[in-house]
Structures are given as structure tokens and as C-alpha cells.
Amino acid sequence: MPAFDYIAVDAQGKKQKGVLEGDSSRQIRQQLREKGWVPSSVEAASSDQKSATEKQPFWQAKKGLTAYELALVTRQLATLIQSGIPLEETLKAVAKQSEKPSVQSLLLAVRGKVLEGYPLAQSFAAFPQAFPDLYRATVAAGEKSGHLDLVLEQLADYTENRFAIQKQIQGAMIYPIILTTLAMLIVVGLLAYVVPDIVKVFNNSHHQLPFLTRALIAASDAVKSFGPYMVVLLGIGAWLGNKTLKTEKGRYAFDAFSLRVPLVRRIVKGANAARFASTLSILSRSGVPLVDGLYIAASVTSNWHIRDAVLEAATKVTEGGSISHSLEKSRYFPPMMIQMLRSGEAGGELDNMLARAAAMQDRELSALITTMVGLFEPLMLLVMAGVVLIIVLAIMLPIVSMNNLVH
């Protein structure tokens, strides 16, 4: 039974939105009238998520499911299917449990595909922005093997773990970003409003001011005169940078630069290695062929140079080569991880070694970020103390100089 998105006005005159199932839009309108509501719009839940997104204002536009929603939906699907509930009833129950109409509409549209006779993975494929390649390939492998419940359980663990790591990284970055922003605003405020009032006392002085004082006055004048233009230039630069990153040449250049910066390089390599290992592990354990798993794992890497290294490894594996040797040549993956993959290939336990390597990389990445955040606070305090010291010295030096001349 297809699903329909509706917009109606209730008896109190309030707009109501939601999703209902019915044979036709006419039946949905009749259901709304029986509730005492006046239907204003009834449309079939679109199988094209992009078109549905384009109908929304840009501040409400949403591309698929969030990481949290995907993890929650996957866990609910796994639990209900393991309980022996039919797939179409499972999708309907999970849709009803969601509080967001967009998620309800999405799941009911998937259910409509299933009722039409499509497999679950193929039904998910109608919504690529909500269910990525990794997700669909894993579900397809579970359906082929007849162990969809077990595969969904593994997929639920994977999505929840990825969501937890994502939240941990985001939470760790909030404080440094706030601290850096406040520090910059304080410095700009001092140069634009405080310093000019203080240095007015030196305007009538015929003595040459110290270099530090002259530099401070020049910086203050620059901020006051060119501050708005600097903000505009920064905005234009950010826009141009974003446009450049959307081009192939610009993206390759940026990713190459990120792999050359010492500290950033460690984070980029660690994050991509962890994502690659965990993705290939869940695909391998779900029964996805190794070469297909490598192509999917390449698509989830964020750095294009590392992605190309994984794609080259997939080609080598197709020709009969080993994963560990191909990845080792790229020098983008940690030696310990390469050694674990080599042991897994030799012992026939590649999926287990991939899972261990992913867990190890996640721990190392978490420890690195925690250390960086721990060092960032005292470093920013030292920088701010240095800036304040320079401003104080720039103000005090001419006062001391004039006092010496008086005596």
C-alpha cells in the first residue's frame, strides 16, 4: 500500500503534516475529512529524495537521514526482524515510532517498494541520499545469504559506532573553535576600540615613538580602516575556496596539501584508515565479495588520494595480488595495520583482523584528538598572554621613555 505525504488544517485552524497509507490520494483525503481536517495537499511519498528536498526551503532542506537517525532505524529494524516480524510490518512499525514526518515518509515509501515485490536492498537504492552504498551492499548480502537479521545487527553496531566516533570528534572540536573565535574577537576589539583611545596621549608628543608602539598603532589603524573590507575578502575567499574544492583539480590539490601538513596528516591518515578498515570488515563479515567491498570502502574515504590507493588495491586484488602489499606501497596506511592485514590474509581471518585494525585506529585517533585538545587550551592562553603583553609593552614603552626625558 503506497504512502502519501499530506498537509491539512485541523478544526482549530492549525496546519498539520504527516504521512498516511492508502490506495489513492482520494482515499487519504477522505481519511482526513473523517478526522475533521481540511486537506490542502496530498502527494505520493517520492522515491526521489532529491526532488522532495528541493521542495523545501534551503534552511529546512535535508539530505537523507542523519547519522543518528540511520543508526536508530537500523537498530530498530534489526531488533524487530530478529523477533520474527515480517519485513513489511517491521518497516511500518519503525515508521510509526519515528517522530519526524520526513523519516516516516521515507520508511513508508521503502515499505511500498517492498510490497511491490522489490528486495529490501533494491528498495533502499531508491533513496541513495538516505542509505549509502555500504548500507545497501550489506543488506543485499544479508538477503542473499538468508541471514538478514544477523547482518542488520552487525550493521546496527557499525552505524552506532560510527555515530559515536563522529560525535566524539565534533564534541572535542567545539571548545577549540569557540576559544579561537573569542580570542580573535578580543584582539580585534582591543585594536579597534581600546588601543586608539590609549595612544591619543602620544599624538602631541614630538618624540619618536618606539617601533613596537608604531607597529601597534599601524595595526590598529589597519583594523579600523580596512576591517570591513577584510571581512568581505575573507567571505569571498571562503566562497572561492568552496567552489574550487568542488572541482576535481582543486579537491586533489587540497587533499595532497592535507597529507603534507605534519599534524593534519596524522589525523587524515588515521581517520581514513579507521573508516576503510571498519567498512571493509562489516562488508566482509556480511558476505560481500572482497573486490566489491574494496570499491565500496574506497567510496567512503574522504581523501581522494587515499581513495585512489584503495581503488588501485582493488585492481591488484582482481589480478591476484594481496591487499596488504598494495596498500603498503601507497604509504597512506599505518605499518601496524598493514601487518595485521597481512596476518589476516595468511591465516584466513581477514575480516577479524580488519575489525581489530579499525578498533586500534579508532583508539589512536581518539587519543590523538584528546591530546591535541588538551594542549590547545594552554597554548591559546600563552598566545593571548603574549598578545596582551605586546599591547601593554607598546603602551608603556613611550611612557617610560618620556618619563626618562623629563628626569
Question: At 140, is the secondary structure helix, strand, or coil?
Answer: helix
Cβ–Cβ under 8 Å, residues 114 and 87: yes
Q: Rounded distance, CA 238 to CA 246, Å?
A: 13
The b-or-e profile of 162-189 (16+ CB within 10 A means b, else e) is: bbebeeeeeebeeeeeebeeeeeeebee
Cell of 220: 590598529
Of the candidates 345, 300, 299, the residue with the CA atom closest to the CA atom of residue 322: 345
Instruction: Give the pLDDT confidence score for residue 108 in this predicted structure.
Output: 86
Q: Rounded distance, CA 291 to CA 192, Å?
A: 60
The string of pLDDT tens digits covering residues 5-35 is 778 888 777 877 777 767 777 787 888 888 8
Mean pLDDT for the chain? Answer: 82
Instruction: Give the pLDDT confidence score for residue 197 in this predicted structure.
Output: 75
Instruction: Give the pLDDT confidence score for residue 203 in this predicted structure.
Output: 62
The string of pLDDT tens digits covering residues 43-82 is 776 544 444 444 443 323 345 688 888 889 999 999 999 8
Q: Which residues contact residue 317 at a Cβ distance below 8 angstroms, ignoring those fewer than 6 apart? A: 290, 291, 294, 323, 326
Q: Rounded distance, CA 220 to CA 215, Å?
A: 9
Cβ–Cβ under 8 Å, residues 143 and 120: yes
Give the model's confidence band at 281: pLDDT under 50 very low, under 70 low, under 90 confident, else very high: confident
pLDDT over threshold 50, residue 205 = yes
DSSP state at residue 202: G
pTM of the predicted model as reported, rounded to 2 decimal places: 0.68
Determine which helix (DSSP H) or strand (DSSP E) holds 360, and give its type and residue range: helix 350-406
The partner residues of 387 in beta bridges, in order of sequence, read none
What value does the mean pLDDT take over residues 191-203?
74
Strands, DSSP E only, in 271-381? none
Cell of 107: 520508511
